[in-house]
Amino acid sequence: KSFLNHTANLSCYFPNSQKNDIKDLRIFWQKGTVEVVHEVYYGQEKRDNLSPKYVNRTKMDMDKWTLQLLNAAIVDEGQYTCIIQHRDKGSPKVIHTSECLLHIIANYSQPEIAQLHTGQLKPKEYLNLSCSSSGGYPEPKQMTWLISHENKTHPGHMDVSQDAVTKLYNVTSKLSIPVPTNIPINISCFLHLGEQLGSLVSVPLSI
């Protein structure tokens, strides 16, 4: 995993138990089956075969056998393969391959609750609220609402849109509940991003 616009570290997981000299190895990274991301040709970085979008964006840490991908973007998500060949009696022979999957993360803004009406609320009317969060990646799982005195969550209707250029997501959920009478309540909104990324919560709205 890498944050958007940060450096992603892709490991070859190569033990080099034979203590091979870098000058006897050809190391190349590719994305999918056609795009060459980085190539080290018998000790020298070689740029002839690189896919244009990776030129000047990669660095190989030879001590850790790790490729650094600079300014990781959402289009960089996907499967990468590290292939290492050893020069043996003149002809190269593959001695190691490994794969890793890159996921990009962009932080969503803190969810924010807005009231969708003006003026004084009256009993027996409905309270209409929206909750919004923007600029995140990947797509969120769901948005839920919590009303303080009920101890249960409301799913609400979630609208998700994706920016055509940045590929970042904006999300909005709406909730309609009867106007509370007699007691003050707090309403919170949660954006659920999946098991590993957790949830974001709004500042509670007091009614």
The proportion of the chain whose per-residue pLDDT surpasses 90, expressed as a percent, equals 62
Separation between Cα atoms, residue 104 and residue 74, nearest integer Å:
6
pLDDT for 23 beyond 90: no
Please name which of 79, 83, 61, 81 lies closest in space to residue 7, comparing C-alpha atoms. Answer: 61
Sorted by sequence, the CB contacts under 8 Å of residue 87 that are 6+ apart come out as: 24, 25, 26, 42
Whether the ω angle into residue 138 lies within 30 degrees of 0, i.e. cis, is yes
Q: For the segment 148-158, what is each residue's pLDDT rounded down to a tens digit?
A: 877 778 887 88
Separation between Cα atoms, residue 154 and residue 132, nearest integer Å:
16
| Res 150: pLDDT | 78
Average pLDDT score over residue span 135-164:
89
Please provide the size of the chain in residues.
207
Q: For the segment 99-137, what is each residue's pLDDT rounded down to a tens digit?
A: 999 999 999 999 999 988 777 777 778 889 999 999 999
pLDDT for 59 beyond 90: yes
Domains and CATH numbers, the chain: 2-105 (2.60.40.10), 109-206 (2.60.40.10)
Separation between Cα atoms, residue 88 and residue 99, nearest integer Å:
24
62 in Cβ contact with 22 (< 8 Å): yes
Which of residues 72 and 127 earns the better pLDDT score? 72
| Res 185: pLDDT | 87
Mean pLDDT, the chain, integer: 90
What is the band of 183 on the pLDDT scale with cuts at 50, 70, 90?
confident
